[in-house]
Structure 1
Amino acid sequence: MTNVKDWWMKGDWFDSCSCDIPCPCEFAQAPSDNRCEGFVAYNIKEGAYGGIRIDGLSVLIPGIFYGNLWAGECKMSVTMLVDERATSEQREALGVIFSEDAGGFMSHIFSTIAEIVAVEYVPITFEIADDLTWWKAESPGRAKAHVEALGGPTTRPGTLVQTTNPPGSEVGADALATWGKSKVSQVSTQGFNWDWEGQSSKHMPFDLKGPAPAEVWFEEA
């Protein structure tokens, strides 16, 4: 890691994948059928890289892996969909933050990626209900997810199905995961193609920073 400026970002994160509900990966286990395909979505409410603000920008990351990622059995193959509204300075900043060079927790996340197939600058919309009853994101023609919060016959009305301190958290320690069920979960870009419905999703807020080293979040293989 060379000349990485201090950075921070806060916002909303969610995934939408092929796993059964609840996604075993969030509990640091192998995915359903030992295969996970889907995408993660970051909406940066506010943040900065050095003096460059990155407020309001989004990044979608479609990817696939086979095996228990947390146990070091595999690594991901992904593509990066970056908000086209980002200026050249903001694109450079996001390129550092969303990389293994970032420092902090993002370095740990990107250490699990074997291949970034492509980086595309594309239109992205990200929406989330104030009461967390639904969330969705889309890059037209490339990736789309619309998720409703999970409920069931014994879920008390007006409450959410949530997990605290999940052992496979993609946003760091002490996370709060709100579980959902996909109505739409589609990817069609750079050789990644799938169309799922009724599968697992979870929303988590994130509050990340670097480049100072972060607490290790899993046992090194």
Structure 2
Amino acid sequence: MATSWQLSGSYFENCNCDVVCPCLVSTNAQLTSKPTQGVCDVALVFHIDKGNFGDVRLDGLNVAMVAHTPGPMAQGNWTAAAYIDERADERQTEALGAIFTGAAGGPMAAFAPMISTNLGAKKVPIKYQIDGKKRSAEIAGVMHMAVEPLPTMREDGEMSMATGHPVNPDWLALAVGVEGSTFRDHGMSWDNSRRNGHYAPISWSGQH
């Protein structure tokens, strides 16, 4: 029998492209534009406010994913790694793995075919914070990432686009990485300070 799942919460990402990421403004849905630095180094971090995978509760847990691509993201050949909240028990870890690898369907299934080198997942403490319109996450000794809204003349201090991004196709804020947004692990190291960022609420569901 299929297991139904759903979750809601928030996410942000920070990549090494200049603002705004060319992947979002491609003229061909099958082939995104080349990253502004030639390659893409990106971290995506997720916080689940409320969620369940069948009878397994996922409330309050965090997940992070990092990826390197040697060219346009849609061409694949990603090298990717994941980090799962150390507070997750065995059943929660299995559920998060199914959702965030795309094995259980849902938005992350769009990324799965792009990954050619999977570096696996680590259980780590992940600190996720929302401070007004700023989002930040920290994995001690590995990653410190934070984004804030791209400067705008809008009264609400926020610019957004309906880009079709799998994480939230209808609403994605344009943001920029704050100083000190760095990652170092798996032989990869990057500094995405003042580089492209996004954030959005998430509301996903699927069956596995």
Same fold (TM over 0.5): yes
Residues 39-118 of structure 1 aligned to structure 2 (within 5 Å): 39-70=43-74, 73-118=75-120
Distance 1:148 1:201 in 2: 8
Pair 1:181 & 2:179 matched? no
For 2:4, the equivalent position in structure 1 comes to 6
Query: Where does residue 218 of structure 1 map in the other structure?
Result: none
Cα drift, residue 4 of structure 1 = 5.3
- Out of 15, 28, 47, which is 1:17 matched to? 15
TM-score (norm 1): 0.84
Q: Would the aligned equivalents of 1:99 and 1:110 in 2 still touch at CA under 8 Å? A: yes
Q: Which residue of 2 aligns with 1:192?
A: 188
Encode CA deviations 1:5-64: one digit per residue, 9 max, x unaligned: 211111111101100001112334322133110200111111111100101101111111
Aligned residue pair count: 201
- Show structure 1 runs of 4+ deviating over 3 A: none
Shift of 1:210: 1.0
Indicate yes or no: 2:123 matched with 1:125: no
Match of 1:102, SS? coil
Tell me by how many angstroms 1:139 deviates: 0.6
- Partners of 2:117 and 2:100 in 1: how far apart? 13
**Alpha-carbon distance change, 211 to 78 in structure 1, aligned in 2, over 3 angstroms:** same
Give SS of 2:37's match.
helix
SS at 1:146 equivalent: strand
CA distance in 2, matches of 1:117, 1:63: 10
Unaligned runs of 5+ in 2: 27-31
Please name the residue that 2:140 is paired with.
140
Residue 62 of structure 1 aligns to which amino acid in structure 2? V
- Please say if residues 11 and 205 of structure 1, whose CA atoms lie closer than 8 Å, have aligned partners that are also in contact: yes
Matches of 1:124 and 1:68, distance apart in 2: 29
Indicate the SS of the match to 2:96: helix
CA contact (8 A) 1:104 1:209 kept: yes
- Partner amino acid for 2:167? V
Instruction: Tell me if 1:38 matches 2:68.
Output: no
Alpha-carbon RMSD: 1.8
Match of 2:167 in 1: 171
Q: Structure 1: how far apart are the matches of 2:183 and 2:12?
A: 15
Q: Which amino acid aligns with 1:24?
A: P
Percent identity reads: 27
Whole-angstrom distance in 2 between the partners of 1:108 and 1:148: 26
Deviation at 1:89, TM superposition (A): 1.1
Runs of at least 5 residues in structure 1 that lack an aligned partner in the other structure:
213-221
Call closer, same or farther: CA 1:93–1:4 in 2, change over 3 Å: farther
